[in-house]
Structure 1
């Protein structure tokens, strides 16, 4: 029987990050957009750190392009989403 758990460490991390993004999107869909966007941003930042510390031969699906590209874009997107979730002022009460 074939296991559903990916073999490489990076692919397992990627799967966890994908679940974090899906959870954030679910929160956005349920109306808690600020918490959802924060969860997505933190997932990207965790992915950037994971890309830094995971050895090259264990990266798996965590690798998209080169190491510098992956780290730069995950950090940029993650930090932007975290800042967005904190900076946008709350709207008037509904």
Structure 2
């Protein structure tokens, strides 16, 4: 039996996406892994924005504005950092 609320389902998908990103980082594709993690945070922020308050479940940490702001800021920052860090020799 899975999570009942839409927000909890989104939270579970978010965790799975972050886990997939961490696996990619661990096997050597760090840039793609960080982009996957960042994208997961952006999608989580969008989910928090559209899911009604009574269905947010574990997706809700603080108020909606706080959650959306910090998740989107973290997600965009991770994607931008992964994109601008130059390739390393070797």
TM beyond 0.5: yes
More helix per residue: 1 or 2? Answer: 2
TM-score between the two structures when normalised by the length of structure 1:
0.94
Which residue pairs with 1:82 in the alignment? 79
Give the distance between the partners of 2:52 and 2:62, measured in 1 at CA.
15
Answering whether residue 25 of structure 2 is matched by residue 28 of structure 1, we say yes
The aligned runs of 1:48-59 (5 Å cut-off) are 48-59=45-56
Q: Give the superposed CA RMSD.
A: 0.5
Structure 1 consecutive aligned stretches of length 4 or more whose deviation exceeds 3 Å? none
Structure 2 spans left out of the alignment, 5+ residues: none
Aligned residues: 90
Structure 1 spans left out of the alignment, 5+ residues: none
Instruction: Please report how far the alpha carbon of residue 87 of structure 1 lies from its aligned counterpart in structure 2 after TM superposition.
Output: 0.4
Instruction: Please report how far the alpha carbon of residue 89 of structure 1 lies from its aligned counterpart in structure 2 after TM superposition.
Output: 0.6
Instruction: Please report how far the alpha carbon of residue 37 of structure 1 lies from its aligned counterpart in structure 2 after TM superposition.
Output: 0.2
Answering whether residue 63 of structure 2 is matched by residue 70 of structure 1, we say no
TM-score between the two structures when normalised by the length of structure 2:
0.98
Q: In structure 2, the residue corresponding to 1:74 is in which secondary structure?
A: helix
